[in-house]
Structures are given as C-alpha cells and as structure tokens.
Structure 1
Amino acid sequence: MEANHDNPYRAPDAELLAGENLVVGALYRMSAVGIATFFGTPLAGAFIIAHNLRAFGRGEQVRSAWGMGLGIFVAFMLVGYWLPEGAGGVGMTVAQVFTMHYYAKNLFGDAVAGHGGPFLSNWRAFGISLLFLVAVIVVLIPIGLLLV
C-alpha cells in the first residue's frame, strides 16, 4: 500500500467549487449606490454597481448595469426637459436614487449584507460621484448651449 492512502490526516481528494458569493477584493456598501446616484447621477451609481459585480465575479452583468444607469439618466433627463419649470427637483432625484438602489439590491443586496470582508469607504463613493458630476456638467453644458 502507498503511504498517501494510509495517512488518516491527508486531505481528501475532492474537487473544490467556488461559492456563488466568492468575493475578490473589497465591496461597496448598498448605501454607496445611493450616495453615488444622489450626488453624481445614475451613471456614478452604475459605476459602483459594476465594481461590486466584478468583485463577485459576475462580469457578464456589468454591461447591463451600465445600460441601466444610462437608461435611467436619459429617461430622467427627458422627463425633466418636458416638466414645467420647478416641477422636478428633489422628487426626480429621489426617484433616481430609489431606482438605482432597488436595482442594486435585486442584483446583490443579500450577498453584500452577508459579506464579512472589507468594505470600501462611502467617502470614496462620494468622491467618485463628484467626478461623474463634473464630467456630466462638462459634457452637457456645451450641448445645452448649442440647443438654446
């Protein structure tokens, strides 16, 4: 007999399967999605969602997250354009935050809640949202000036 088969302390020969919620790197909390969306449009929220999807190894869903963020952004821009002056405001922003948070919660809310590893700071999400806000302003102001 071989010594490996007689050793009772040897690890069994088994194929190890990665769990569904195997996380590579730190995650953003669910609140980071709301913070990024509130201050930096749904595009910033989509960035946070995409980061978490990549960390969960679900890279195939990143494109749909960006599509959702862009779709919400464009939809609310169009609705805001046709609303009377002063009618949108806070309600439109709250609706965007709620929509992106609910989308993220459906994608990975339970997995983030049960995550025992490290989290990235909400301040980092806030900084990312400001970068997205500046980028959106830099792009939309010239477009707005051309249309008026």
Structure 2
Amino acid sequence: MDHENPFQPPAAELRTAPTADQNLRLYSVAAIGLSTFIGTSMAGAYFISQNLKALGREAEVKKVWGMGIGVFLAMTLAGFFLPENIPAVVFILPQIYGMNAYARQLFGPQVIEHKTNGGPFVSLWRVAGISLLFALALAAVFLIVALLIGLE
C-alpha cells in the first residue's frame, strides 16, 4: 500500500512576512474621508497628496490638487444655484465618497499592505486638526469675498 498520508501538511516553502518601513507614516483612507468631511475636498486633496509624496509618486500631486479644487468649486457653485430647500448632506456626501474612492484608486492596495505589515499611520486627531484649519481658512476666504462684495 503506497498511499500518501492525507493528514500530512503540504510541502510549501515558508516565507517570513516583509516588515513595514517604520519611517513611512501614511494617512488611512478613513482619514481622507474624515478630512473631507471637516475641511471639504481641499483637505482631502492635501492628505492624498501627502500619501503620494510618502510613496514616492510626486508626479501625481498636481492632478490630485486639480481634482480637489474642481470638486470644491463644483459643490460651491451647486450650492449657489440649487434651491435652498436642498439639504446640506447633498453637498457633503458626494465629496466624501468621491475623495475616498479616488484615494482607494490611487493607493488603496498599498495602504492595506502597509497596515497588514504593521506599518504606522498618522493619528486621526492630527487629521482632524489640519482639516479644521482648512475649514477655517476657507471660511475666512468666503467672509472676505462677502465683505468685498457687500462694500461695492
């Protein structure tokens, strides 16, 4: 009887998991969503561009900023031209969904691999603080524009 043992483990080469680069600190995709919620698509574009720079893909940063500014301007113009009875969530959710989807498309697998390998991520508190600064800066710009228009 020359039968193989069905309980014998397979003969496979064991490899150790690659260790994460401890100097590489990324922003998670959830951080992109949080930043977009607090500081509009402009803040989301900032954090996406920071991840791209950390991953050595600086050539794509201009495209990301164009996307962030374009989404912000589109939502702002839609807010001016659509009726006032439309809830604010209509302007917030597309930005969050769009920037999250864009981040997943650009570096989703790399962020997942980074997390799987135990790589560090930047704190969501830092993301919230920087995003709040974006929101305050945009509010200041709108206030200045409103005052300038009111003075004429």
State if a TM-score over 0.5 links the two structures: yes
Aligned to 1:82: 81
User: 8 Å contact 1:49–1:104 — kept in the other structure?
Assistant: yes
Could you say which residue in structure 2 is the equivalent of 1:118?
120
Task: Decide whether the 8 Å contact of 2:22 with 2:120 is kept in 1.
Answer: no
Q: Distance in 1 between matches of 2:91 and 2:57?
A: 30
**Gaps (5+ residues) in structure 1?**
1-21
How far 1:92 sits from its partner (Å)? 1.2
Moved runs in structure 1, 4+ residues, more than 2 A?
Answer: 22-25, 144-148
Q: How far apart, in 1, do the equivalents of 2:22 and 2:98 lie? A: 25
Instruction: Within 5 Å, give how 1:1-148 maps onto structure 2.
Output: 25-115=24-114, 116=117, 117-147=119-149
Question: Share of identical aligned residues, percent?
Answer: 44
Cα distance, 1:144 vs. partner?
2.4
| Secondary structure class of the residue paired with 1:57 | coil
Distance (whole Å) between structure 2 residues aligned to residue 95 and residue 34 of structure 1: 11
Q: Is the 8 A contact 1:80 1:88 kept in 2?
A: no
Aligned residues: 128
The 2-side partners of 1:90 and 1:38 are apart by 10
In 1, the alpha carbon distance for the partners of 2:66 and 2:55 equals 19
8 A Cα contact 1:34 1:45, kept in partner: yes
Quote the Cα distance in structure 2 between the aligned partners of 1:23 and 1:72: 34
User: Aligned with 1:114: secondary structure?
Assistant: helix
Tell me, yes or no, if the aligned pair for 1:23 and 1:55 is still in contact at 8 Å.
Answer: no
* TM-score normalized with structure 1 length: 0.81
Give structure 2 stretches of 5+ with no counterpart. Answer: 1-20
